[in-house]
Amino acid sequence: MNHRDAEGAEVTGEVIGAAIEVHRALGPGLLESAYEECLCRELSLRHISFVRQLRLPVEYKGVKVDCSYRLDLLVASSVVVEVKAVVALEPIHTAQMLTYMKLGRWKLGLLINFNVPLLWTGIRRMILKED
């Protein structure tokens, strides 16, 4: 494992720890926005840097098109975090995350579904393979 991979593993571990704390306190059943707000608070308490609702422009054949997406969180300038509160993660959620990672050229992502009895069953760690 190289230094960059070790840093990524550390950051994802910190985010997962913060998410587990939020889930322990709140449990399943709330809106995504509530989990996102509380996860941001927990990351702040742990002094973990992040940007919330980061605009992600779409570029097509050299032109920025008139639409953009927003990442829920970008943690430590390297890990994309998408917060969900759904019955089950669907393939479209995975596709969305991989697209965000590709557009922003980030290698690591965490897709976290808080609407589960045990949070670890709702976490997907994703790695974007380099071309």
**Separation CA 57–CA 11 (nearest Å):** 25
Q: What is the pLDDT of residues 53-107, one digit of tens each?
A: 998 888 889 888 878 789 999 999 999 999 999 999 999 999 999 999 998 999 9
**Separation CA 102–CA 32 (nearest Å):** 23
Q: 80-116 burial, b if ≥16 CB within 10 A, otherwise e?
A: bbbbbbeeebeeebeeebbebbebbebbbbbbbbbbb
**Tokens 């002094």 sit on residue:** 47
> In the structure, what pLDDT confidence band is assigned to residue 8 with cuts at 50, 70 and 90?
confident
Q: What is the pTM of this model?
A: 0.90
